């Protein structure tokens, strides 16, 4: 329940203003609302507050001696699932969209904070407060670009919205949790999406044009556990590109600085996380962090084919080799990239071990990026769980 409101004179930053996080700003939208008054305490790139956030949201912080919690955060339950009747056009089977629809249909919430797209461009995000299941359904499919989700908080006062389901990625949810006590809400539910390596719209275009055969027809894509990027085109066809065949020299700097300095891949502040990184191909990975997360899962579980999480293979040698290859911006010939991909797909990490591979790879890369670009932030910015993970590897000297 709301206990206070931002100062009446606090207003969004004027267009063209420098945002407080400067080059590290993830454009989460908080500074485009009156809640900019709280930016110094709430911005993930100005103040790290994982333990306080986890304790406030889940009743405790993660157990650093439990390897699953070290990597994936506070949890009551972890599983894989798929909708028995997948939603047509959804990126996966549509679990996140279905939860949003059911939250409205059952009256659990008055609105769902989700992200639609511009009528002129499939990949330009348009945050919205959806009031109907049809609006949630229309917003299905990921938009892999920076999105100012929290700017719609400006619409809450006087809207009649008292119970909200917010769907978002880690930096957005960290800011949202920080200002939660000041929001004019009776209940807030948070459905989190795992997130890594977002880009600006221009950066996305660079990525597509350097990677896929027909950039203009891509509907969505994802880096998958077979170590290939899976692209779906508007005609329904699919195209895959091996990770190891990417044009690393061209793409090394395309990702947003906020993503290169982020350690919240698994969305630590969400009640329920729905993604893919800990699941095998064809399934989705879910982590229930607290009773509200179970309440969200209860909405849809009868419609799911549920299975336990699995884990196989060993990630560590591949991670160490990848650190050096990325740092040197190595570009492999396509035949070699495909051969390595086949070997890694057969013998490499799968299930939760693939999730750990991805976290290890990105945390070590991001620590190195911070060391070189923001050494003044290095000690305070990397949370304890990330420091423990990074310490398992050798980083190149700066």
Within the chain, residue ranges assigned H as helices are: 39-42, 50-58, 67-72, 95-105, 133-138, 170-179, 201-211, 248-251, 291-300, 316-327, 334-347, 352-373, 378-381, 384-390
| pLDDT for res 191 | 98
Kindly indicate the confidence band of residue 14, based on its pLDDT and cuts at 50, 70 and 90.
low
Between 387 and 246, the more confident residue is 387
Q: How far apart are the first and last CA of the chain?
A: 48
Q: Is the pLDDT of residue 337 over 80?
A: no
**pLDDT of 3 higher than 50:** no
Report helix, strand or coil for 373.
helix
Percentage of the chain lying above the pLDDT 70 cut: 95
DSSP state of 110: S
Given this model, what pLDDT does residue 330 score? 67
CA distances from 363 to 52, 169, 178, 368, 369 (A): 21, 17, 23, 9, 10
**CA-CA-CA-CA torsion for 352, 356, 357, 358, nearest 10 degrees?**
100
Q: Read off the pLDDT of each residue in 215-238 and give the average, rounded to a whole number.
A: 87
* Phi/psi at 164 (5° precision): -130, 135
User: Mean pLDDT throughout 148-156?
Assistant: 97
Q: What is the pTM of this model?
A: 0.92
Alpha-carbon distances of 7 from 143, 157, 213, 338, rounded to whole Å: 33, 13, 51, 57
pLDDT at res. 57? 98
């Amino acid at each position: 329940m709301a206990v206070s409101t931002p100062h009446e004179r606090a207003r969004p930053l004027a267009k063209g203003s420098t945002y407080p996080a400067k080059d590290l700003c993830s454009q989460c939208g908080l500074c485009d609302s009156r809640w900019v008054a709280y930016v110094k305490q709430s911005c993930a790139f100005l103040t790290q507050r994982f333990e306080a956030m986890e304790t406030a949201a889940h009743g405790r912080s993660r157990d650093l001696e439990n390897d699953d919690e070290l990597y994936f955060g506070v949890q009551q339950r972890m599983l894989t699932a798929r909708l028995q009747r997948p939603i047509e056009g959804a990126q996966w089977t549509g679990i996140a969209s279905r939860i949003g629809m059911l939250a409205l249909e059952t009256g659990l919430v008055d609105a769902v904070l989700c992200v639609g797209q511009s009528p002129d461009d499939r990949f330009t995000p348009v945050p919205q407060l959806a009031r109907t299941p049809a609006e949630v359904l229309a917003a299905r499919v990921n938009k892999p670009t920076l999105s100012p989700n929290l700017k719609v908080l400006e619409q809450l006062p006087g809207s009649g919205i008292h119970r909200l389901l917010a769907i978002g990625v880690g930096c957005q949810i960290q800011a949202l949790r920080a200002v939660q006590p000041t929001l004019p809400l009776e209940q807030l539910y948070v459905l989190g999406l795992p997130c890594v390596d977002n880009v600006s719209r221009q950066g996305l275009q660079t990525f597509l044009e350097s990677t896929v055969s027909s950039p203009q027809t891509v509907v969505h894509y994802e880096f998958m556990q077979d170590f290939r990027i899976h692209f779906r085109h508007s005609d329904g066809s699919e195209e895959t590109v091996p990770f190891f065949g990417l044009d690393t020299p061209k793409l090394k700097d395309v990702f947003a600085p906020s993503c290169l300095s982020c350690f919240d891949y698994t969305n630590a502040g969400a009640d329920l996380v729905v993604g893919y990184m800990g699941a095998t191909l064809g399934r989705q990975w879910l982590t229930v962090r607290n009773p509200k997360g179970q309440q969200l899962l209860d909405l849809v579980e009868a419609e799911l084919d549920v299975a336990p999480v699995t884990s196989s293979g060993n990630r560590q040698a591949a991670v160490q080799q990848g650190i050096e290859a990325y740092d040197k911006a190595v570009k492999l010939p396509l035949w070699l990239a495909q051969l390595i991909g086949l070997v890694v797909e057969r013998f490499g990490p799968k299930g939760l071990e693939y999730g750990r591979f991805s976290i290890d790879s990105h945390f070590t890369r991001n620590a190195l990026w911070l060391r070189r670009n923001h050494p003044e932030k290095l000690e305070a910015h990397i949370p304890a769980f990330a420091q423990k993970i990074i310490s398992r590897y050798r980083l190149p000297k700066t």
